[in-house]
A = this chain, B = another copy of it.
Amino acid sequence: MSIGKILIAQGGGPTAVINQSLAGAVREAMRHPGVERIYGALNGVRGILQERMVDLSMESVANLERLALTPGSALGSTRDKPDEAYCQKIFQVLRAHGIGAFFYIGGNDSSDTLRLVGEFARRESHDLTCVHIPKTIDNDLMENDHTPGFPSAARFVAGAFAGADLDNQSLPGVYVAVVMGRHAGFLTAASSLARRFPDDGPHLIYLPERAFSLEGFLADVQGVNQRLGRCVVAVSEGIHDAAGTPIITQLQAQVERDAHGNVQLSGTGALADLLTESIKKNLGIKRVRGDTFGYLQRSFLGVASEVDRREAREAGEQAVRFALRRRESGTVALKRVGDYAVDFVFLPLETVAGKTRVMPDAFINGAGNDVTPAFRDYLAPLVGELPVVSRIFSPRVAPLLGA
Whole-angstrom distance between the Cβ of A148 and the nearest chain B Cβ: 16
B-side contacts of A175, CB under 8 Å: 267, 295
In the bound complex, what is the Cα–Cα distance between A175 and B299 (angstroms)?
13
B-side contacts of A160, CB under 8 Å: 296, 300-301
Interface digits, A31-56 against B, CB 8 Å rule (1 contact, 0 not)? 00000000110000000011111111
In the bound complex, what is the Cα–Cα distance between A119 and B399 (angstroms)?
24
In the bound complex, what is the Cα–Cα distance between A274 and B389 (angstroms)?
37
Whole-angstrom distance between the Cβ of A102 and the nearest chain B Cβ: 14
B-side contacts of A171, CB under 8 Å: 13-14, 73, 76-79
Q: Are A54 and B394 in contact (CB under 8 A)?
A: yes
Q: Are B267 and A14 in contact (CB under 8 A)?
A: no
Q: Are B397 and A89 in contact (CB under 8 A)?
A: no
B-side contacts of A141, CB under 8 Å: none
Most chain B CB within 10 A, of A39, A76, A158, A290, is at A290
Q: Are A269 and B290 in contact (CB under 8 A)?
A: yes
Whole-angstrom distance between the Cβ of A290 and the nearest chain B Cβ: 6
B-side contacts of A158, CB under 8 Å: 301
In the bound complex, what is the Cα–Cα distance between A40 and B162 (angstroms)?
23
Asked if A388 is at the interface of the complex by the 8 Å CB criterion, the answer is yes
Asked if A199 is at the interface of the complex by the 8 Å CB criterion, the answer is no
Asked if A343 is at the interface of the complex by the 8 Å CB criterion, the answer is no
B-side contacts of A267, CB under 8 Å: 175, 276, 288-291
Whole-angstrom distance between the Cβ of A343 and the nearest chain B Cβ: 29
B-side contacts of A392, CB under 8 Å: 40, 54, 56, 59, 63, 67, 74-75
Interface digits, A371-403 against B, CB 8 Å rule (1 contact, 0 not)? 000000000000000111111111111011111
Whole-angstrom distance between the Cβ of A267 and the nearest chain B Cβ: 3
Chain copies in complex: 2
Q: Are B163 and A295 in contact (CB under 8 A)?
A: yes
Known contacts: A13-B171, A14-B171. The answer to whether A166 contacts B290 by CB under 8 A is no
Q: Are A166 and B299 in contact (CB under 8 A)?
A: yes
B-side contacts of A167, CB under 8 Å: 14, 71-72, 295, 298-299
B-side contacts of A155, CB under 8 Å: 302
A192-228 CB contacts (< 8 Å) to partner B: 194
B-side contacts of A400, CB under 8 Å: 51, 93, 96-97
Q: Are A63 and B393 in contact (CB under 8 A)?
A: yes
Indicate which residue in B67, B78, B170 contacts A391 across the interface (CB closer than 8 Å).
B67
B-side contacts of A294, CB under 8 Å: 177, 289-292
Asked if A347 is at the interface of the complex by the 8 Å CB criterion, the answer is no
Interface digits, A290-315 against B, CB 8 Å rule (1 contact, 0 not)? 11111110111111000000000000
B-side contacts of A76, CB under 8 Å: 169-171
Identify 26 residue pairs between A and B in the complex whose beta-carbon atoms are under 8 Å apart, listed by A's number. A50-B403, A52-B396, A54-B397, A56-B394, A57-B394, A58-B393, A60-B393, A66-B389, A69-B387, A70-B166, A72-B163, A74-B390, A74-B391, A75-B392, A76-B169, A76-B170, A76-B171, A78-B171, A93-B401, A93-B403, A159-B300, A164-B295, A175-B267, A177-B294, A301-B387, A303-B303
Binding site for B on A (CB under 8 A): 10, 13-14, 16, 39-40, 49-60, 63, 66-67, 69-79, 89, 92-93, 96-97, 155, 158-160, 162-164, 166-167, 169-171, 175, 177, 194, 266-270, 272-273, 276, 288-296, 298-303, 386-397, 399-403
**List of 10 A-B pairs having minimum Cβ-Cβ separation, nearest first:** A269-B269, A267-B289, A72-B166, A291-B294, A163-B299, A66-B390, A51-B399, A162-B301, A73-B170, A167-B299
